[in-house]
Copies of this chain bind each other. A is one copy, B any other.
Amino acid sequence: MLRAMPLTAVSAAASPAARRGRPPKTAAERDEGNRRQVLIGAAARLFRTKGFDGASTRDIAAASDMQSGSPFYFFQSKQALLHAVMQEGMSRATQSQALVLAALGARAPARDRLRALVRHHFEVLLGADSDFIPVMLYEWRSLTPAQRQDVAARKDAYEAAWMPTLRALRRAGRLRARPEVARLFIFGALNWSVQWFSSRGALSLDELTEQALLLFTGDQ
C-alpha cells in the first residue's frame, strides 16, 4: 500500500517580493503573501464548488474576510486569480509527483511506478486540499488564450512523466494500447472520478487505484 504524500505549499516564489529577487522581510510583506494565498485558496474552493462564473469575486472576497473590491489589489482580474489557482495546483502536483517517483527509485518495476502515479493522481484529484487540479481540469475554458497555453504546458509536463512507465509496460506486453493514446484514456478515466467519487462512498483511494490497475493492465 502506498502512503499519500501531503501536498505542501511550494509557491512562495510567486509572491511579489520573491519575484523581485529578495527574501520577504517586513511583516507587511509577509502578510501580503499570506493574504494572496488566502485568496487563492478561497478561490480554488469556490471555483470548484460553483464554477468560475458561478463564484463571484465578492464571494471570494467574503470567504477571505475582505471587502468586495480588495481581491483586485492582489490580482489584476478575476481571470488572473483563476490562473493563479491553476499555477499553484500544477506546481504542487508536479513537485509531489516528482517526490513520489524519486522515492520509488529508477529501478522500480514499471507496474509499481504506474501504481504510485495513479495513487498520487487520485490524491491530487480527491484527497485533502484537492480543489486546485479539478479547477484546472474543468475551468480552463475561462482563461485567456495566453493563460491557457501556459497551463497546457504545465499539464503536459506533469503527464509527460508518465510516458516512460507506459512505454515500459507496453514493451513488457502489459499494456496493449499505444502509449500516447493510453495516456489520454487513462487520464480521462482518472480525471472523471472527480464527477462521481464520494469520500463517504464505499471505495477508498487505495481500492480505486487497485481497480484502475486491474482495468488498464489486467493485474495489480
Contact = CB atoms under 8 A, between A and B. Distances in A.
Closest 9 A/B residue pairs (Cβ):
A188-B192, A53-B53, A177-B215, A185-B189, A176-B214, A189-B189, A177-B214, A188-B189, A181-B211
A211 B51 contact: no
Interface string A190-218: 11110110000001000010011011101
Contacts of A214: 176-177
A175 interface: yes
B193 A184 contact: yes
Contacts of A190: 185, 188
On chain A, which size bracket covers the interface?
20 to 34
Contacts of A54: 53, 141
Interface of A: 51, 53-54, 138, 141-142, 175-178, 181-182, 184-193, 195-196, 203, 208, 211-212, 214-216, 218-219
6 contacts: A53-B53, A138-B138, A175-B215, A176-B218, A186-B189, A216-B216
Given A51-B53, A218-B176, A218-B218, A211 B196 contact: no
Given A181-B203, A189-B192, 15 more contacts: A51-B141, A51-B142, A53-B53, A54-B141, A175-B215, A176-B214, A177-B211, A177-B214, A181-B211, A184-B192, A186-B189, A188-B192, A188-B195, A191-B192, A215-B216
